[in-house]
Amino acid sequence: MLKIENLTHVYPNGTRALDNVSLEVPAGMFGLLGPNGAGKSTLMRTIATLQVPTSGAIRFDEIDVLAQPDALRRTLGYLPQDFGVYPRVSAYDMLNHLAVLKGYSDGRERKEAVDALLNQVNLWAVRNKAIAGFSGGMRQRFGIAQALIGQPRLLIVDEPTAGLDPEESNRFLNLLSEVAEDIVVILSTHIVQDISNLCQRTAIIAGGRIVQVGAPQDLIRDM
Question: Taking the complex as a whole, how short is the minimal distance between the CB of residue 71 and ligand ADP, in angstroms?
Answer: 25
| 40 or 141: CB nearest ligand ADP | 40
* Buried residues in 94-113 as b, exposed as e (16+ CB within 10 A): bbbebbeebebeeeeebeeb
CB of 209 to ligand ADP, least distance (A): 11
Q: Measured from the CB of residue 75, what is the shortest distance to ligand ADP in angstroms?
A: 23
Nearest distance from residue 20's CB to ligand ADP, in Å?
15
Compute the distance between CA of residue 62 and CA of residue 60 in angstroms, rounded to an integer. Answer: 6
Question: Identity (one letter) of the amino acid at 3?
Answer: K
| CB distance 171 to 197 below 8 Å | no
CA distance 21 to 54: 12
| Number of C-beta neighbours around residue 67 at 10 A | 11
Task: Give the residue with the Cβ less far from ligand ADP, 38 or 79.
Answer: 38
Phi-psi region of 101 (alpha: psi -120 to 50; beta: other; left: phi over 0): alpha
Half-sphere exposure of 6 (CA within 13 A, CB side): 3
CB of 74 to ligand ADP, least distance (A): 25
Return the number of the residue (96 or 189) whose C-beta is nearest ligand ADP: 189
Q: How far is the CB of 17 from ligand ADP (least distance, A)?
A: 3
Comparison of 42 and 96: residue with beta carbon closer to ligand ADP: 42
| Closest CB to ligand ADP among residues 7, 99 | 7
Reading across the β-sheet that carries 28-33, which strands appear in turn? 76-79, 154-158, 184-189, 28-33, 201-206, 209-214
- When the beta carbons of 121 and 164 are compared against ligand ADP, the nearer one is 164
Residue pair 157/32 in contact by the 8 Å Cβ criterion? no
Q: Which residues bind ligand ADP (CB under 6 A)?
A: 11, 13, 15, 17, 34, 36-42, 81
